[in-house]
């Protein structure tokens, strides 16, 4: 391949476990950590004679997802069988969709959606033995509780260009799905799973290079690291003048290594054909109306609302809106004290999140009411910025109520001439040389005097107020 | 008394129990003893004791059930070694509906493995003998059910029909077999052969019994997404005339090669009988019928190749232990499936393969659509289509086992209706060389009441005597 800069071309396939009451094709309740094989029936065990019946709620959720992603919704959608043998697939085929998916096209953020279709999840395999894989396992056991869980598979166009963009976009998708209430969208628990198709091409061309598929990465961090590692691996191959092999890969986050699961030569012929046990799904006006009525405010709309109604900065609006937990928390802070300026609330939510890292604010010890109270205390000068940040540190560590923390620890702002004037006077008196320089118009030492006052008040005074008092006492203002 | 019981149709037996002239236990024990003494290999399992009685219109009349139906706690092996000894944890809806109406399961009947066959010679549990001539086959795949009813080992039986598997053995054994409209009877719990073609129906001594059994089988089932509400109740047929009715004969099909003269003769006699009952006979054409057999032998194996994937040795049935997964799959399926099943899995897998799908499966589906359209066209000017059920009478055991194509031709007349999903009945029309010949009467979807009526009128006029086999000892 010719020299010059190479750019990654990345497309995603995301599997989303839907949070319906029952499985995709039978009446079993979804599994949530129950003892193995207790949420099963003849249908999801693939017993002889059992037949699937499509879950209407899963179709409803699928339509909601399609609407949220601005997809075209099929008037008639069909299920197909995808045939292959594996112990986690009890029927020897997965019921999925093929040429008539529920949703086609669409867009989320800057990324175009190729399609969204419904299918059933496989069972869970546990391999005993050193390899952890079915090859070389001493024994393998199958837990069918997960088998048959409804999945929406969302496929993007190959339009993503970096690991970072993938991470950011996936967070938006996750927020969108979470807002819809159709899934738990928990990557670690497997309710949101992502495969990435990755290839490289010279910048400025629109041809596609040979792609590899990176399978089943179960956290945002691993996805970004896995994609970065695969992009570098391909770059090294191409720059060495060799060619990339089309294959399915596994990223091991522990060793950062990429290993091959199977090459194209071993690729399955899935022998797709229309599932004869399920009549085509006809999407009625009623179904569409119900799905439309079920749509909550989505991230894009929320972002707009924060900018237009609350006058938040576009950056803050996007950060909040694309992370629903954060936006929900921000809304709760605003609701806890409606007199609070949303800007001030936003600043304190940002301040809090900075201290929490990956932890969600709503899971922290800081209640929205506590944060609202703290912000209000700052606005009313009951505590200054510095003191308030100390209070916030304590709230994060142990929770509690800001007012009592301030009272207990004497963090009230020292304010007003009555309280501050004698302290300022004492500071000036203790530093006659500096006082003299100030009187003569050399304002440089004023910081030292203010610092002295802050020291005396243990940071509880307001810097501006102290400066003003110094000037006043020296007759400068 | 035993002879009296034996002479009762299922309808008459249910009435006798209702009137107090017979107890359900007497009836059950009578048939249990006969079924247990079966020398035709018609049964693969017979009840030791009478099941707990259920009140209902069927009054405890014993029912033989094709092994393809799942019956809770009772071996349900589909004629296959791969399911040898398998007892399911649930009962098929069709069987459960009949049990709820009072039927008592007497036993499970032998069949071609996974319903693939027309002679019952493809059973892992051995062939079934025709009660009319023990050197001949009973037809298939519901051969055990047909033989059991014909030999009087059971008053009636359940079968399944994918391409003719109720009608053809009913014809070859001299009894009545009804293949319903697709979807009228739930397929839930019926071990799948070809999902878009499989139908469950009764095999009975007479048309009235077929109507009674069928009445308690139909109904929408929430466990079968392809099942439908039958638009009217199934009536007891009483017609004795065919006045005003038009019967269409697909002449080119019926005159084709392979039809035996004796079968042809019996069919002509049936047409004369129909005329004498007031019917008008017309010619019709099913131009795509000559492709129907080929289309069927693409669609059915394609669906079967997928349906039979679940028999992988992982969860139930036979498992041949091997050192790795692929070898376990291969050896389990190699040992578990018989030759005909393997042949159809191979055909079906090939037909669905990438690059061949359109040429085979896609084209076969287009033929299917054509056949359905042509039948619908005929039903615009005729009430029924009539044909012989099978081109031949029962053939000798082993005669066709080495020639699959000759075997497939057994279903030449029954397959078009299977592809179209329309109902059809086979009733005995007489004997040829001492062996029964069947007459097939087909109507449009949901015309079962009219088909049963016409069949009842013809049955009365034909006066076939099946008690030759079911009346005495077998």
In a domain, B213, yes or no: yes
In a domain, B126, yes or no: yes
In a domain, B388, yes or no: no
Please determine, for residue A410, whether its predicted confidence score (pLDDT) is greater than 90: no
Q: What is the number of structural domains in chain B? A: 2
CATH number, domain of B31, equals: 3.90.1300.10
In a domain, B133, yes or no: yes
Q: Are residues B172 and B46 part of one domain?
A: yes
In a domain, B346, yes or no: yes
What is the structure's pLDDT at A132? 72
Please determine, for residue A3, whether its predicted confidence score (pLDDT) is greater than 70: no
Q: Are residues B176 and B85 part of one domain?
A: yes
In a domain, B355, yes or no: yes
What residue segments make up the domains of chain A, in order of their start? 6-291, 297-408, 417-473
A95: closest chain B residue by CA: B306
Please determine, for residue A2, whether its predicted confidence score (pLDDT) is greater than 50: no
What's the burial of B1, exposed, middle or buried (CB within 10 Å: 0-12/13-18/19+)?
exposed
Is A81 within 8 Å of B349 when comparing Cβ atoms? Answer: no
ipTM exceeds 0.85? yes
- Choosing from B76, B80, B123, B141, which is the catalytic residue? B141
Task: Tell me the pLDDT tens digit for each residue of B329-359.
Answer: 999 999 999 999 999 999 999 999 988 999 9
What pLDDT band is residue A1 in, cutting at 50, 70 and 90? very low
Task: Tell me the pLDDT tens digit for each residue of B235-272.
Answer: 999 999 999 999 999 999 898 878 999 999 999 999 99
Q: Are residues B57 and B164 part of one domain?
A: yes
Q: Are residues B143 and B54 part of one domain?
A: yes
Q: Are residues B320 and B225 part of one domain?
A: no
A445 or A145, higher pLDDT: A145
In a domain, B416, yes or no: no
A82: closest chain B residue by CA: B306
What is the structure's pLDDT at B2? 59
The closest CB to that of A91, out of B78, B310, B354, belongs to B310
Q: Which domain holds residue B76?
A: 2-239+448-470
Q: Which of B335, B354, B338, B355 is nearest to B304 (CA)?
A: B338
Could you say which residues of chain B have pLDDT below 70?
1-3, 472-474
Please determine, for residue A375, whether its predicted confidence score (pLDDT) is greater than 50: yes
Task: Tell me the pLDDT tens digit for each residue of A188-228.
Answer: 889 999 999 999 999 988 888 899 999 878 888 889 999 99
Tell me the CATH number for domain A417-473. 1.10.10
Q: Are residues B306 and B223 part of one domain?
A: no
B192: closest chain A residue by CA: A49
A426 or A64, higher pLDDT: A64
Q: Rounded to a whole number, what is the distance in Å from the CA of A48 to chain B's nearest CA?
A: 5
B78 or A414, higher pLDDT: B78
Beta strand B246-250 with B280-284 is: parallel
**Domain boundary pick from B338, B364, B390:** B364
Q: Which of B154, B121, B123, B153 is nearest to B138 (CA)?
A: B121
Q: Are residues B222 and B125 part of one domain?
A: yes
Q: Are residues B234 and B122 part of one domain?
A: yes
**Domain boundary pick from B364, B384, B413:** B364
Q: Are residues B335 and B201 part of one domain?
A: no
Q: Rounded to a whole number, what is the distance in Å from the CA of A13 to chain B's nearest CA?
A: 22
What pLDDT band is residue A476 in, cutting at 50, 70 and 90? confident
**Domain boundary pick from B364, B383, B399:** B364
Q: Rounded to a whole number, what is the distance in Å from the CA of A22 to chain B's nearest CA?
A: 14
Question: What is the pTM (predicted TM-score) of this model?
Answer: 0.89
Of the candidate ranges A118-132, A267-281, B148-162, B236-250, the one whose mean pLDDT is the lowest: A118-132
In a domain, B20, yes or no: yes
Per CB-CB distance under 8 Å, the chain A contacts of B226 are: 51, 276-279
What is the structure's pLDDT at B474? 41
What is the structure's pLDDT at B149? 98
Q: Are residues B465 and B359 part of one domain?
A: no
Per CB-CB distance under 8 Å, the chain B contacts of A278 are: 225-226
A278 touches chain B (CB under 8 A): yes
B266 part of the active site: no
Is A276 within 8 Å of B195 when comparing Cβ atoms? Answer: yes
Q: Rounded to a whole number, what is the distance in Å from the CA of A178 to chain B's nearest CA?
A: 31
């Amino acid at each position: 391949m010719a020299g010059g800069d190479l750019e990654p071309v990345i497309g995603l396939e995301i599997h989303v476990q839907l949070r319906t009451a029952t499985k995709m094709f039978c009446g079993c309740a979804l599994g949530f950590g129950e003892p193995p094989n207790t949420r099963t029936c003849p249908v999801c065990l693939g017993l002889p004679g059992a037949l699937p019946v499509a879950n209407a709620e899963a179709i409803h959720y699928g339509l909601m997802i399609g609407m949220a992603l601005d997809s075209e919704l099929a008037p008639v959608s069909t299920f197909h069988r995808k045939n292959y043998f594996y112990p986690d697939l009890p029927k020897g085929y997965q019921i999925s969709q093929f040429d008539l998916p529920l949703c086609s096209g669409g867009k989320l953020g800057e990324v175009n959606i190729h399609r969204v279709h419904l299918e059933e999840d496989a069972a869970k395999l546990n391999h005993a033995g050193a390899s952890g894989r079915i090859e070389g396992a001493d024994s393998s056991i199958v837990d069918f509780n997960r088998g048959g869980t409804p999945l929406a598979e969302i496929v993007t166009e190959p339009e993503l260009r970096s690991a970072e963009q993938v991470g950011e976009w996936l967070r938006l998708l996750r927020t969108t799905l979470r807002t819809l209430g159709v899934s738990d969208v928990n990557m670690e628990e497997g309710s949101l799973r992502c495969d990435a198709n990755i290839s490289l091409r010279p910048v400025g061309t629109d041809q596609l290079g040979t792609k590899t598929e990176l399978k089943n990465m179960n956290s945002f961090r691993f996805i970004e690291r896995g994609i970065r590692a695969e992009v570098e691996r391909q770059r090294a191959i191409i720059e060495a003048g060799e060619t990339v092999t089309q294959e399915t890969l596994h990223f091991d986050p522990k060793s950062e290594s990429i290993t091959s699961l199977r090459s194209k030569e071993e690729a399955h012929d899935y022998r797709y054909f229309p599932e004869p046990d399920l009549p085509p799904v006809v999407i009625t006006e009623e179904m569409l109306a119900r799905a439309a009525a079920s749509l909550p405010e989505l991230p894009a709309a929320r972002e707009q609302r924060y900018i237009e109604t609350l006058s938040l900065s576009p950056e803050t609006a996007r950060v909040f809106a694309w992370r629903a937990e954060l936006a929900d928390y921000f809304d709760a802070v605003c609701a806890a004290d409606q007199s609070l300026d949303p800007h001030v609330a936003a600043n304190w939510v940002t301040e809090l999140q900075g201290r929490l890292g990956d932890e969600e604010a709503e899971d922290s010890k800081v209640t929205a009411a506590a944060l609202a109270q703290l912000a209000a205390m700052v606005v009313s000068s009951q505590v200054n910025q510095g003191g308030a940040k100390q209070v916030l540190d304590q709230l994060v560590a142990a929770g509690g109520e800001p007012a009592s923390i301030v009272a207990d620890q004497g963090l009230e702002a020292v304010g007003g001439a009555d309280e501050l004037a004698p302290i300022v006077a004492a500071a000036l008196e203790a530093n006659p040389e500096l006082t003299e320089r100030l009187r003569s118009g050399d304002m440089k030492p004023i910081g030292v005097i203010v610092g002295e006052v802050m020291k005396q008040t243990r940071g509880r005074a307001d810097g501006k107020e102290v400066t003003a008092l110094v000037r006043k006492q020296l007759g400068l203002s | 008394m035993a002879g009296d019981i034996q002479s009762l149709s299922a309808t008459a037996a249910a009435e006798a129990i209702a009137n107090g002239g017979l107890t359900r236990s007497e009836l059950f024990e009578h048939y249990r003893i006969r079924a247990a003494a079966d020398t035709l290999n018609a049964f693969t399992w017979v009840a030791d004791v009478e099941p707990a009685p259920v009140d209902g219109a069927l009054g405890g009349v014993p029912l033989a059930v094709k092994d393809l139906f799942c019956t809770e706690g009772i071996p349900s092996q589909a004629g296959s070694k791969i399911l040898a000894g398998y007892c399911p944890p649930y009962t098929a809806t069709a069987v459960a509906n009949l049990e709820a109406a009072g039927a008592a399961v007497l036993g499970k009947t032998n069949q071609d493995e996974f319903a693939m066959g027309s002679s019952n010679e493809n059973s892992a549990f051995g062939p079934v003998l025709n009660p009319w001539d023990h050197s001949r086959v009973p037809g298939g795949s519901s051969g055990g059910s047909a033989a059991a009813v014909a030999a009087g080992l059971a008053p009636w039986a359940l079968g399944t029909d994918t391409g003719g598997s109720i009608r053809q053995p009913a014809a070859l054994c001299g009894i009545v077999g009804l293949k319903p409209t697709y979807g009228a009877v739930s397929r839930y719990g019926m071990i799948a052969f070809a999902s878009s073609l499989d139908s469950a129906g009764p095999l009975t001594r007479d048309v009235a019994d077929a109507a009674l059994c069928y009445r308690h089988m139909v109904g929408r089932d929430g466990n079968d997404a392809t099942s439908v509400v039958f638009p009217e109740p199934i009536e007891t047929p009483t017609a004795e005339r065919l006045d005003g009715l038009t019967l269409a004969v697909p002449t080119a099909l019926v005159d084709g090669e392979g039809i035996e003269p004796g079968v042809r003769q019996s069919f002509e006699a049936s047409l004369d009988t129909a005329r004498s009952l007031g019917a008008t006979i017309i010619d019709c054409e099913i131009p795509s019928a000559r492709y129907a057999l080929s289309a069927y032998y693409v669609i059915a194996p394609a669906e079967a190749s997928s349906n039979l994937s679940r028999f992988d040795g992982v969860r139930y049935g036979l498992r041949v232990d091997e050192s790795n997964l692929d070898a376990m799959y291969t050896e389990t399926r190699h040992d578990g499936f018989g030759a005909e099943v393997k042949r159809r899995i191979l055909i079906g897998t090939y037909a669905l393969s990438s690059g061949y799908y359109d040429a085979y499966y896609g084209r076969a589906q287009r033929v299917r659509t054509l056949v359905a359209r042509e039948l619908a066209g005929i039903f615009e000017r005729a009430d029924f289509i009539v044909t012989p059920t099978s081109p031949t009478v029962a053939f000798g055991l082993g005669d066709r086992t080495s020639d699959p194509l000759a075997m497939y031709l057994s279903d030449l007349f029954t397959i078009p209706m299977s592809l179209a999903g329309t109902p059809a009945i086979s009733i005995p029309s007489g004997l040829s060389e001492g062996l029964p010949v069947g007459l097939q009467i087909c109507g449009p979807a949901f015309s079962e009441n009219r088909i049963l009526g016409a069949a009842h009128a013809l049955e009365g006029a034909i006066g076939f005597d099946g008690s030759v086999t079911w009346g005495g000892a077998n």
